[in-house]
């Protein structure tokens, strides 16, 4: 009773802006919980919940994790009573920034935001739940993963809205870069995201080159289409220019314009440009990568420009840019950001409507028109190959120059995901060779590993050359290098031995992707997956085989000792072969790996001369 009375008195004092000593507040809170009755005994296996932690099935939380819940009010919505995408972008950027600063321990700024695909709209009265946490820290930048969902308080329904990846840079005094401490993943999910973050970073760095390559290889002629006899709308009619004055509420705690605020302003002018084309209220479906090229501060003027670059049958791309300048117009404008947004117009049943065509201006307008078509192809490739789950991607995806980056990403990330799985079980052990299995719903995977007296880099160079695999793997007859994509990716035509109950040998078209360690503790990776090439169709003398995910991971244990592991998701045609080895009825896999060790030891000295053939 005394504690209860004291708490009521303290509440009145706090409401009256009377400063209360911290020790009295602590006594009151502790007294309310423990003065009248002893603490409840925890059940067996129950963990103590961290103070202030949100209720969660798992007690252990990532220290960088930030959770935000926002109730959608009328002031957050558009004319349809749906949450404005600009407002959602502000919340996403805020949560991601707080997560980044938790890890860095210093101010952070948004460097980029990857593609965002919005799956649903959110209505007034619903709750937006955002969870952000750092996936991986590099030297001075880090990747933050963001998951957004909505909750209907009346029905209790939860639904995913989007998933995003943002890159933040830590800043010290006077804008200097800060070297970040490494992040150690704990759970299986965190290990997967940590491993694949390096691949996503690589994909961001080559994004511009991918667009240039596609434009170079495509014809320069631009033909304007007409549908249902309708004429094309001049792109100039959709042009929008607006200026915003950066005020203190628009700035973050560092005095720079909030990245989410800039994204919201850009979304606003892009929506106006899209409306001018279709004379309706468009819905934003996707945003391509945001790249922040420089900061702006309180007092700056931000000039926002938008124009419809191209209109396809049911969607349109709007290009938008942001430039900043100070009070004096004589100072040249600073380019802050550029982005490309995809809009659709929905009918009463929620289906996309057919849009009028766009007539670009000669010169820059035609360039933007062509680039929009190229970006649409890249978006489709990226969404089809990268965003799909592994089981949703066909085994042999057609390879071409436009999707080479994303196929390479999918190849390496699939192997890294398999490596990060937590439920590997030791199935066999023969001398130095250990064989593990992983049983999942649709796949039986195996891993075989051993320690070899060879430097990790030398083993990596030897095992990444499929033309030499027949020297230690009796299943391989030959491997022809079909195409050298770049230094890290190559395509081979492989011929293997006949399988049991087969009359013809098998052949494969395999993409081999290799990666050196991104940071200390990472393995050397050599990943394999099937692709299709028009120059190498299936032939009558072979049975065309396919591999979904396989490859090597090599961890340095010392300067002259490495742990070499081979992973494979067994396809149906190989299940009998794999299960026979797992059950101990055959030692073929172990014997093959022992032959691999002998091959590595034999060739570790004359590697330099052999590299000329690679």
Q: Distance between CA 88 and CA 340 in Å, rounded? A: 17
Q: Distance between CA 322 and CA 333 in Å, rounded? A: 10
Quote the radius of gyration of the chain (alpha carbons, Å).
Answer: 29
Pick the CATH number of 63-216 from 3.10.129.10, 1.10.645.10, 3.90.550.10, 3.40.50.2300: 3.10.129.10
pLDDT score of 360 more than 60:
yes
pLDDT score of 583 more than 90:
no
pLDDT band at residue 7 using 50, 70 and 90 as cut-offs: very low
pLDDT of residue 316: 95
Task: Please provide the DSSP assignment of 235-254 as one string.
Answer: GGGG-EEEEEE--GGGB-TT
pLDDT of residue 47: 36
Q: Distance between CA 557 and CA 553 in Å, rounded? A: 13
- For 176-212, what is each residue's pLDDT tens digit? 889 999 999 989 899 999 999 988 888 887 777 777 7
Pick the CATH number of 392-603 from 3.30.530.20, 3.40.50.720, 3.40.50.261, 3.30.1330.20: 3.30.530.20
pLDDT score of 382 more than 80:
no
The domain segmentation of the chain, as residue ranges, is 63-216, 234-279+293-390, 392-603
pLDDT score of 132 more than 90:
yes
pLDDT score of 65 more than 90:
yes
pLDDT band at residue 62 using 50, 70 and 90 as cut-offs: confident
Asked whether the domain spanning 392-603 has the same topology as the one spanning 63-216, the reply is no
- Longest CA pairwise span in the chain (Å): 91
Place of tokens 């001398």: 431
pLDDT of residue 470: 92
Q: Find out whether 198 and 136 touch, Cβ atoms under 8 Å.
A: yes
pLDDT score of 171 more than 50:
yes
pLDDT of residue 15: 42
pLDDT of residue 20: 42
Q: What is the mean pLDDT of residues 405-421?
A: 90
pLDDT band at residue 424 using 50, 70 and 90 as cut-offs: very high
pLDDT of residue 131: 97
Place of tokens 């000329």: 612
pLDDT score of 55 more than 50:
no
The pTM score is 0.76
Buried b (16+ CB within 10 A) or exposed e, 334-345: bebbbbbbbbbb
Share of the chain above pLDDT 70, in %: 80
Q: What is the mean pLDDT of residues 53-77?
A: 78
Share of the chain above pLDDT 90, in %: 49
pLDDT of residue 390: 46
pLDDT of residue 401: 75
| Mean pLDDT computed over every residue of the chain | 82
Indicate the fold that domain 234-279+293-390 takes in CATH.
Thiol Ester Dehydrase; Chain A (3.10.129)
pLDDT score of 21 more than 50:
no
pLDDT score of 60 more than 80:
no
pLDDT of residue 218: 62
- For 457-489, what is each residue's pLDDT tens digit? 999 999 999 999 999 998 899 999 999 998 999
> What are the phi and psi torsion angles at 144 (to 5°)?
-115, 125
pLDDT of residue 166: 94
pLDDT of residue 204: 81
- For 590-604, what is each residue's pLDDT tens digit? 899 999 999 999 887
pLDDT score of 112 more than 70:
yes
pLDDT score of 33 more than 80:
no
Q: What is the mean pLDDT of residues 56-82?
A: 84
* Closest C-alpha to 251, from 90, 455, 393, 387: 90
- For 295-337, what is each residue's pLDDT tens digit? 889 999 999 999 999 999 899 999 999 999 988 766 688 999 9
Q: Distance between CA 447 and CA 569 in Å, rounded? A: 9
> What are the phi and psi torsion angles at 389 (to 5°)?
-70, 160
Task: Please provide the DSSP assignment of 64-76 as one string.
Answer: T-EEEEEE--GGG
Q: What is the mean pLDDT of residues 218-230?
A: 49
Q: Find out whether 363 and 222 touch, Cβ atoms under 8 Å.
A: no
Q: Output the six-digit token pair for 287.
A: 């945003």
Q: Output the six-digit token pair for 336.
A: 């802050």
- For 524-564, what is each residue's pLDDT tens digit? 999 999 999 989 998 889 988 888 889 999 999 998 999 99
């Amino acid at each position: 009773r005394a504690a209860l009375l004291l708490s009521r008195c303290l509440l009145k004092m706090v409401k009256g802006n009377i400063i209360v000593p911290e020790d009295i507040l602590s006594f009151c809170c502790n007294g309310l919980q423990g003065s009248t009755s002893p603490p409840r005994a925890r059940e067996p296996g129950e963990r103590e919940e961290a103070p202030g932690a949100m209720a969660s099935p798992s007690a252990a939380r990532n220290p960088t994790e930030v959770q935000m819940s926002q109730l959608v009010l009328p002031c957050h919505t558009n004319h349809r009573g749906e949450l404005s995408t600009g407002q959602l972008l502000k919340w996403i950027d805020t949560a991601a920034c707080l997560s980044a600063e938790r890890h860095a321990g210093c101010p952070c700024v948004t460097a980029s935001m990857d593609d965002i695909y919005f799956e649903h709209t959110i209505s007034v009265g619903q709750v937006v739940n955002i969870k952000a946490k750092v996936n991986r820290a590099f030297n001075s930048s880090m990747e933050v993963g963001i998951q957004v969902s909505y909750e209907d308080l009346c029905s209790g329904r939860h639904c995913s809205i989007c998933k995003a990846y943002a890159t933040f840079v830590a800043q010290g005094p006077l804008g200097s870069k800060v070297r970040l401490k490494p992040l150690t993943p704990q759970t299986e999910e965190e290990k997967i995201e940590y491993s694949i973050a390096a691949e996503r970073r690589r994909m961001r760095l080559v994004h511009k080159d991918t667009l240039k390559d596609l434009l170079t290889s495509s014809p320069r002629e631009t033909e304007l289409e007409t549908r249902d006899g309708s004429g094309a709308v001049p792109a100039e009619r959709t042009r929008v220019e607006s200026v915003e004055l950066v005020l203190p509420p628009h700035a973050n705690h560092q005095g720079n314009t909030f990245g989410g605020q800039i994204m919201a302003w850009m979304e606003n002018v892009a929506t106006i440009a899209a409306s001018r084309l279709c004379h309706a209220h468009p819905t934003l479906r996707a945003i391509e990568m945001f790249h922040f090229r420089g900061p702006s501060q309180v007092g700056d003027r931000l000039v926002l420009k938008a124009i419809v670059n191209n209109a396809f049958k049911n969607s349109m791309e709007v290009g938008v840019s942001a430039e900043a300048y100070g009070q004096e117009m004589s100072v040249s404008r600073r380019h802050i950001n550029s982005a490309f947004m995809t809009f659709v117009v929905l009918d009463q049943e929620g289906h996309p409507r057919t849009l009028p065509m766009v007539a670009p201006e000669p010169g820059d307008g035609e360039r933007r028109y062509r680039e929009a078509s190229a970006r649409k192809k890249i978006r489709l490739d990226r969404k089809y190959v990268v965003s799909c789950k592994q089981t949703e991607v066909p085994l042999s995806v057609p390879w071409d120059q436009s999707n080479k980056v994303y196929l390479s990403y999918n190849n390496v990330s699939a192997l890294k995901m398999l490596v990060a799985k937590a439920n590997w079980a030791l199935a066999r052990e023969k001398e130095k060779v250990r064989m593990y299995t992983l049983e999942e719903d649709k796949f039986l995977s195996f891993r075989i590993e051993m320690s070899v007296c060879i430097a990790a880099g030398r083993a990596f160079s030897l095992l990444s050359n499929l033309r030499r695999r027949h020297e230690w793997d009796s299943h391989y007859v030959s491997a022809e290098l079909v195409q050298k994509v770049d230094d890290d990716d190559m395509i081979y035509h492989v011929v293997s031995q006949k399988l049991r109950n087969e009359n013809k040998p098998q052949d494969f078209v395999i993409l081999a992707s290799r990666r050196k360690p991104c940071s200390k503790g990472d393995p050397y990776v050599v990943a394999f997956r099937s692709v299709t090439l028009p120059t190498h169709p299936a032939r009558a003398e072979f049975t065309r085989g396919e591999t979904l995910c396989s490859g090597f991971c090599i961890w340095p244990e010392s300067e002259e000792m490495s742990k070499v592991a081979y992973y494979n998701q067994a396809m149906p045609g190989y299940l009998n072969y794999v299960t026979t080895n797992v059950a101990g009825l055959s030692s073929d896999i172990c014997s093959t790996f022992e032959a691999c060790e002998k091959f590595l030891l034999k060739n570790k000295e004359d590697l330099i001369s052999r590299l000329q053939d690679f």
